[in-house]
């Protein structure tokens, strides 16, 4: 193949792998976590209770490969290249034009936003690509075997009826492509249209009202069977790419009627598709940083979580919570938690069906588990499994909750389900070993940080609010049990700016236990002692913090500058304090306001 001929393939491959494998790599990993594949008969049976169940079933199998994002992106690339070749063979359009549907399906994948945290359909990532292959395959079969034949309408009608049962709406799309092709070529279009319309209507009607065949079919969306209806329709960002992909297929089916010898015009569909791809991609920075943090958490790479947190100047509350989890796992929660940017940047998302993917819906299982609220984690997993669907993500946290609470038989049941996925066997082997030898839990890096927090679960409040507020309120109310609980307790008091409670618990802990004082606690103690007005208390805390002379000197500088500031609400004042004291608790106390912990 000459370089000129290979240029479109090289360009498309670079765009596809760059966007999916690299830029959206963590999102692909997320899609594997929020899906699952099993060989259980009951699980498989559910896919055949609706027409077109083969498509989401195959999609659920393929999404497993996204555990390695580059492998998932490569698999997607191969399918899209196969689609391009099939489009070209079926329609006779040029190489560049044949890439238009594939580019729109890349757009479908890169438009994934926060709605992906509440999936309602398996195979949501690969399903439309597989369906497009089926639809174009119908068109190719028509041109290869039936075009110009007298009995073509009859055979195609029978093929459509069977195809709807197997492939759902994608068979109907294939029939529509055939009709467009017939009208463009004048091959008995009206006879073919009537035959296919009758066959399509009969298939949809029969499947909708035959309770013996499909007793659980959604009649309202029967003509969309096989499509991720609840995920990609209504106000979702995924609706537009699906429409554009269908339109591009219809236009390529009509390509012979608009053929031109001018190469510039032949390349126009590719150029327009590429322009749409880059202009409509969901580029939101915080969403992708969050996805990378979640991948790092899933792989137990807490150092990477902190590296990502340090680069973001305007994080969402989800990123802040993930950062605090990482600091706790590293034993640095009250030491460094105020050295990172703190904000509550709103999530850029649209309404997803009947449920809005709020902060709590997105991160509750992860945050609740790693902050020691295991029963809360279990409750969220159960609720979200009902609201959306059962996924590996929920099963894995439910398995760990069962393991850490001593229900080893239940944990093993979850492990058996999770272990049927291709790339989860190492995870299952690790936790199964802990279930077989529970005494090793206390030596496991995760167990060393989670088990001490279980001592505080007996004080858990019946709090039904948002997950972050629930954690803060829980640890504010917990007395001293051990050092891990004390760390969360003091962090919650500092976040809530509760001066009197902080001073009382700080002094009580120091007098009973003693020990070193972390930087964050020292900064808060120096501040609250200074604002309390009690000189004896101020002197006593100064003695306690005698080993933190650098903190005391820095606080003296902060206080002098604060007293000299003419207007604390002026933007230039805030900017100056952020530059010189932005990594201290004092800056958080005076200048970080209006946080929305929802």
- Write out the two tokens for 503: 């001073």
Count of beta carbons in the 10 Å neighbourhood of residue 234: 13
pLDDT band at residue 329 under the 50/70/90 scheme: very high
In tens, the pLDDT along 65-92 reads 999 999 999 999 999 999 999 999 998 8
CA distances from 566 to 251, 406, 557, 589 (A): 66, 59, 16, 18
Collapse the DSSP code of 314 into the 3-class scheme (helix H, G, I; strand E, B; otherwise coil) and give the result. coil
Given phi > 0 = left and psi -120 to 50 = alpha, else beta, which region is 123? left
Q: How far apart are CA 394 and CA 29, in angstroms?
A: 15
Collapse the DSSP code of 125 into the 3-class scheme (helix H, G, I; strand E, B; otherwise coil) and give the result. coil
Q: Which stretches of 485-539 are assigned E, i.e. beta strand?
A: none
**Rounded to the nearest 5°, which phi and psi values hold at 444?**
-70, 140
In tens, the pLDDT along 437-450 reads 999 999 999 999 99
Q: How far apart are CA 311 and CA 455, in angstroms?
A: 35
Determine the pLDDT at residue 265.
58
Q: How far apart are CA 133 and CA 563, in angstroms?
A: 70
Q: What mean pLDDT is predicted for residues 143-160?
A: 77
- Angle 598-321-526 from CA coordinates, rounded to 5°: 105
Confidence check: pLDDT of 308 > 90: yes
> Angle, nearest 10°, between helix axes 519-532 and 499-512?
120
Q: What is the DSSP string of 331-365?
A: T-HHHHGGGS----PPP----BTTB---HHHHHHH
In tens, the pLDDT along 500-511 reads 999 999 999 998
Of 9-13, 204-208, 209-213, 298-302, minimum mean pLDDT range: 209-213
* Number of helices (H), then strands (E), in the chain: 32, 0
Collapse the DSSP code of 425 into the 3-class scheme (helix H, G, I; strand E, B; otherwise coil) and give the result. helix
Contact by Cβ (8 Å): 69, 21: yes
CA distances from 263 to 6, 96, 325, 494 (A): 16, 10, 56, 66
Residue-averaged pLDDT of the chain: 87
pLDDT band at residue 352 under the 50/70/90 scheme: very low
- Taking alpha carbons only, the member of 426, 428, 431 closest to residue 418 is 428
DSSP code of residue 421 = S
C-alpha torsion 391→392→398→401, nearest 10: -150
DSSP code of residue 498 = -
Q: How far apart are CA 401 and CA 363, in angstroms?
A: 16
Confidence check: pLDDT of 336 > 50: yes
**Rounded to the nearest 5°, which phi and psi values hold at 411?**
-60, -40
The residues near 596 (Cβ < 8 Å, ≥ 6 apart) are: 317, 344, 346
The residues near 257 (Cβ < 8 Å, ≥ 6 apart) are: 184, 185
Given phi > 0 = left and psi -120 to 50 = alpha, else beta, which region is 353? left
Q: How far apart are CA 377 and CA 173, in angstroms?
A: 43
In tens, the pLDDT along 11-35 reads 999 999 999 999 999 999 999 999 9
Q: What mean pLDDT is predicted for residues 319-343?
A: 93
Q: How far apart are CA 103 and CA 274, in angstroms?
A: 7
The residues near 299 (Cβ < 8 Å, ≥ 6 apart) are: none
pLDDT band at residue 334 under the 50/70/90 scheme: very high
Confidence check: pLDDT of 178 > 80: yes
Confidence check: pLDDT of 355 > 50: no
CA distances from 321 to 149, 318, 578, 596 (A): 65, 5, 21, 12
Q: How far apart are CA 292 and CA 98, in angstroms?
A: 33
Count of beta carbons in the 10 Å neighbourhood of residue 507: 16
Q: How far apart are CA 303 and CA 293, in angstroms?
A: 10
Annotation: CATH topology of 285-454: 1.25.40
Collapse the DSSP code of 118 into the 3-class scheme (helix H, G, I; strand E, B; otherwise coil) and give the result. coil
Containing H/E element for 83?
A: helix 69-91
- Write out the two tokens for 160: 């459509």
Contact by Cβ (8 Å): 65, 21: no
**Rounded to the nearest 5°, which phi and psi values hold at 179?**
-65, -45
Given phi > 0 = left and psi -120 to 50 = alpha, else beta, which region is 516? beta
- Write out the two tokens for 574: 């805030």
Residue 331: burial class (beta carbons within 10 Å; 0-12, 13-18, 19+): middle
The residues spanned by each domain of the chain are: 3-280, 285-454, 497-591
pTM metric for this prediction: 0.90
């Amino acid at each position: 193949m000459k370089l000129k001929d290979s240029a479109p393939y090289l360009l498309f491959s670079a765009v596809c792998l760059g966007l999916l494998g690299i830029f959206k790599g963590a999102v692909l990993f997320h899609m594997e976590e929020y899906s699952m594949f099993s060989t259980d008969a009951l699980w498989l049976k559910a896919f055949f209770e609706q027409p077109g169940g083969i498509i989401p079933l195959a999609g659920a199998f393929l999404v497993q490969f996204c555990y390695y994002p580059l492998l998932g992106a490569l698999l997607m690339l191969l399918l899209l290249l196969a689609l391009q070749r099939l489009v070209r063979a079926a329609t006779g359009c040029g190489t560049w034009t044949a890439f238009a549907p594939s580019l729109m399906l890349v757009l479908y994948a890169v438009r994934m936003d926060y709605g992906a945290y509440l999936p309602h359909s398996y195979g949501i990532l690969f399903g439309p690509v597989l369906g497009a292959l089926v639809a174009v395959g119908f068109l190719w079969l028509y041109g290869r075997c039936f075009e110009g034949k007298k009995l073509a309408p009859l055979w195609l009608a029978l093929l459509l009826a069977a195809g709807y049962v197997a492939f759902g709406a994608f068979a109907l799309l294939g029939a529509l492509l055939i009709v467009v092709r017939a009208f463009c070529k004048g091959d008995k279009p009206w006879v073919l249209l009537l035959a296919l319309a009758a066959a399509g209507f009969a298939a949809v009607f029969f499947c909708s009202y035959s309770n013996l065949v499909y007793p659980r079919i959604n009649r309202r969306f029967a003509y969309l069977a096989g499509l991720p209806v609840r995920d990609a329709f209504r106000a979702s960002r995924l609706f537009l790419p699906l429409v554009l992909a269908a339109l591009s297929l219809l236009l390529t089916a009509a390509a012979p009627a608009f053929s031109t010898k001018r190469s510039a015009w032949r390349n126009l569909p590719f150029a327009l598709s590429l322009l749409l791809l880059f202009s409509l991609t969901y580029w939101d920075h915080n969403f992708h940083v969050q996805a990378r943090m979640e991948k790092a958490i899933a792989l137990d790479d807490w150092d990477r979580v902190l590296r990502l947190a340090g680069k973001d100047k305007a994080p969402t509350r989800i990123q802040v919570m993930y950062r605090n989890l990482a600091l706790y796992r590293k034993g640095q929660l009250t030491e460094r938690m105020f050295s990172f940017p703190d904000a509550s940047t709103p999530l850029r998302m649209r309404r997803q069906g009947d449920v809005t993917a709020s902060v709590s819906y997105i991160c509750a299982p992860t945050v609740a588990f790693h902050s020691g609220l295991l029963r809360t984690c279990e409750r969220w997993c159960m609720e979200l499994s009902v609201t959306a669907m059962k996924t590996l993500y929920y099963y894995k946290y439910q398995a760990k909750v069962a393991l850490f609470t001593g229900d080893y038989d239940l944990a093993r049941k979850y492990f058996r389900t999770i272990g049927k996925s291709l790339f989860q066997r190492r995870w299952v082997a690790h936790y199964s070993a802990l279930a077989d030898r529970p005494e090793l839990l206390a030596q496991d890096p995760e167990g060393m940080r989670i088990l001490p927090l279980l001592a505080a679960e007996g004080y858990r409040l019946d709090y039904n609010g948002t997950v972050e507020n629930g954690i803060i309120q829980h640890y504010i109310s917990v007395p001293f049990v051990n050092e891990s609980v004390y760390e969360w307790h003091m962090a919650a008091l500092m976040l809530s700016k509760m001066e009197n409670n902080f001073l009382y618990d700080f002094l009580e802990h120091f007098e009973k236990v003693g020990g070193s004082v972390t930087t964050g606690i020292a900064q808060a103690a120096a501040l609250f002692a200074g604002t309390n007005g009690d000189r004896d208390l101020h002197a006593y805390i100064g003695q306690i913090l005698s080993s933190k002379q650098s903190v005391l000197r820095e606080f003296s500088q902060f206080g002098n500058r604060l007293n000299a500031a003419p207007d604390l609400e002026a933007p230039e004042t805030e900017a100056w304090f952020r530059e010189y004291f932005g990594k201290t608790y004092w800056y958080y106390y005076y200048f970080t306001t209006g946080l929305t912990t929802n």
